[in-house]
Structure 1
């Protein structure tokens, strides 16, 4: 990964330009990789070294790169990071944003900045992911009122003399001070990793999972026999999958019903007007579960529509719901839910919910086709996305026609065709991503105009 240039707003000039060119010369090409497993045991290491201070800050009257963005943001001031990882994580409790940089020897270092000012914060010790080396995934997890940045990657390690073993490598960083812990979990097969909290869940996409406590680094395996299947639910033992964890326990689903191990059961919290024995989890976010429900067979639109509901993860209570036309072809992967910083709004694909008001909206055409991909939403109830984009990643990369959606009036406004969308927002600053001609990722923070 490259050295980064972080530039908060202030003064500029020829000296600044020379400094920026010098810093940019330290860069390299970003890489990326995604892996969606099964293992027991684990190894954990705690770094006692003090976090490295972040790099030098160059100041300017505004970001060198000025993008076309929604009118809710100003490009007159802000900050910019050149050569960061494509993926970032935001701690709304501290206002810190974390990103990764590539260092020598296929190693990676996590760095942080203050989203409000662009000032650099703490950075972690460089660590090496398993082979093949690529950018680890990056997320946040909250446990025991403490928040952590989490990086994880999957691969193998070997000395060339003995068969290589495969494992999931996680690095956990306390968001307040950067204290770092390394945990390695033996694993075979492509893992799914959930950080909805309070523990990190590594799943094989079926009924087996391993839990990692971010506070202590403790690793524990949970096999199918310990999932506490609800009584009288034969569908629960069909296509069983561990989706993640809630404050009440593991969230598990079967072919048509779902439950929290030792907690609530979907049949007991089904929204009114639905088939209580026909609900499936489609996405999990911290404190929230998005589920799709079949309507009662006697319902007028039972053959053409489903009901989508956002459930409170701790209790199963329905917070908001909306009916939406059933697609002609079932998607292979449902859109990932995105929460506003306060957790009062949620969007996923063409679905949007105002959880505080208990309302939802399905944005679809007269033909019943949802052509809207919403990717992020602010505490003001403004969601951003694109029409005719393949998915959220495509919309953030500039695909489709950018739009802003007001979740109070439920109105859709077209943005400039080349407008970039914020991938996240914290402390009133939108974080935008852009890739230049040298294949370097730019992260740019623009404050809200209000």
Structure 2
């Protein structure tokens, strides 16, 4: 049995966040590497998986399933599934890509896609996103179509979108082509296609419908009528674009044209001339770093409803911030954001930042039960060490594992933790203990 010792909780509590959907962790953030398929996955009620890892006590290694399906694993937390994004050589052209989606509780295949290919001999990046509570997988590329010896063809951005709740074999995508060169990103409430020009195109992943926005046509905020000289698109909300300014203009803000501005929701005590940083978490949620309070050394963070501009909650954290990766529990209740974790149902939050007396914690995953996994980062000179820790948001206690080789899941959904074993190139799923 693993032994643990309790370490002190250095926290700043605050009301935070209410209701949000999966982030994601958006663009091609795989939870595992590659392996080779050997056969169908066993049921979670069958014999113990042959792959036995040292994992937190939350998981029962005596049950579960495993798979060596070849590809890159991407958890689909809202769907209770895990997608395997595979690649194989094309018979007479570019490489082919596709998805095989497994049930997270049983390992059984839910659906598989037809193969799709990029325009030209390039990779096919993938985006995972959640809009209106539904998850989607989108693969995109840019290049030239309809070209031959005489005709130069036309530049387009091609996007293939698959709903995560599909079923059966040979699932076909919603195929979208946007004229011109550009890149695709997760804008929050939809995909955004842009080429740093005067327009951006929003794509609804559910239907493939496109909406073109003229960047220069957007209404500037009332407190910065000249902002159009240096503005840029930061994301997409249910009420239009989320706009911001680049660093060469003396205006620290962001806004939804015709809706709200940063000035409307700036917390008391922060510098009104500061430059807050807004990060898109999901289709309806932003997290904003407002910078340091004028009367203390605390950094102020807010959760904001991106459509309405309503501040859902604010938390103040002392110490240097860690990375700003975000991880939502599958049910949307808990949000891990760098060294901060928020209970969205209770409106509370805690901080684990680097101070003169404490090391920072970088959180990697969070479960529906409020168990959060991460690493305490200690630094000495040019070297650093990572110690695995586990926070229980229900009790506020954080524990340090004696075994530094403890494996954390790359995803947790449907009551199962999903792990990757480097030694055998195997994905293994263990259920939560009863």
TM range (shorter): 0.7 to 0.9
Contact 2:241–2:257 (CA<8 Å) still a contact in 1?
yes
- Aligned partners of 1:404 and 1:208: how far apart in 2? 45
- Aligned partners of 2:103 and 2:137: how far apart in 1? 18
Contact 2:410–2:418 (CA<8 Å) still a contact in 1?
yes
Contact 1:196–1:245 (CA<8 Å) still a contact in 2?
yes
Contact 1:156–1:166 (CA<8 Å) still a contact in 2?
yes
Contact 2:319–2:355 (CA<8 Å) still a contact in 1?
no
Q: TM-score, normalised by structure 2?
A: 0.76
Q: Secondary structure at the match of 2:263?
A: helix
Measure how far apart 1:379 and its partner are: 1.9
Residue pairs, 1:26-425, within 5 angstroms: 61-92=47-78, 94-105=79-90, 106-134=95-123, 136-143=125-132, 147-157=134-144, 167-177=156-166, 178-186=171-179, 188=181, 191=183, 193-194=185-186, 196-197=188-189, 199-204=190-195, 208-233=199-224, 236-237=227-228, 240-254=231-245, 255-276=251-272, 278=274, 279-295=276-292, 297=294, 299=295, 301=296, 304-325=297-318, 327=320, 335-367=324-356, 371-388=360-377, 400-415=386-401, 416-425=403-412
Measure how far apart 1:129 and its partner are: 2.4
80 and 243 in structure 1: CA distance in 2 versus 1, 3 angstrom threshold: farther
Tell me the alpha carbon deviations over residues 308-330 of structure 1, each in whole angstroms, 9 at most, x when there is no partner. Answer: 11122332222332223464xx9
Q: Is 339-348 or 367-376 further displaced after alignment?
A: 367-376
What is the number of equivalent residue pairs in this alignment? 378
Contact 2:137–2:163 (CA<8 Å) still a contact in 1?
no
1:25 is matched with which residue?
none
Q: Is 114-123 or 381-390 further displaced after alignment?
A: 381-390
Unaligned runs of 5+ in 2: 1-33, 246-250, 380-384
Contact 2:157–2:181 (CA<8 Å) still a contact in 1?
no
1:430 is matched with which residue?
417
Contact 1:311–1:318 (CA<8 Å) still a contact in 2?
yes
- Aligned partners of 2:359 and 2:234: how far apart in 1? 25
Contact 1:201–1:211 (CA<8 Å) still a contact in 2?
yes
Contact 1:88–1:99 (CA<8 Å) still a contact in 2?
yes
Contact 1:98–1:149 (CA<8 Å) still a contact in 2?
no
- Aligned partners of 1:6 and 1:409: how far apart in 2? 40
Q: TM-score, normalised by structure 1?
A: 0.73
Contact 2:244–2:254 (CA<8 Å) still a contact in 1?
yes
Q: Secondary structure at the match of 1:88?
A: strand
1:445 maps onto 2:429 in alignment: yes
Contact 1:207–1:241 (CA<8 Å) still a contact in 2?
no
Measure how far apart 1:402 and its partner are: 1.8
Q: Secondary structure at the match of 1:231?
A: coil
Contact 1:285–1:337 (CA<8 Å) still a contact in 2?
no
Q: What is the RMSD of the two structures over their aligned residues, measured on CA atoms? A: 3.3
Unaligned runs of 5+ in 1: 12-59, 391-398
- Aligned partners of 1:207 and 1:277: how far apart in 2? 28
Measure how far apart 1:10 and its partner are: 6.4
- Aligned partners of 1:409 and 1:206: how far apart in 2? 50
- Aligned partners of 1:349 and 1:235: how far apart in 2? 34
237 and 419 in structure 1: CA distance in 2 versus 1, 3 angstrom threshold: farther
- Aligned partners of 1:243 and 1:448: how far apart in 2? 38
- Aligned partners of 1:238 and 1:325: how far apart in 2? 36
402 and 168 in structure 1: CA distance in 2 versus 1, 3 angstrom threshold: farther
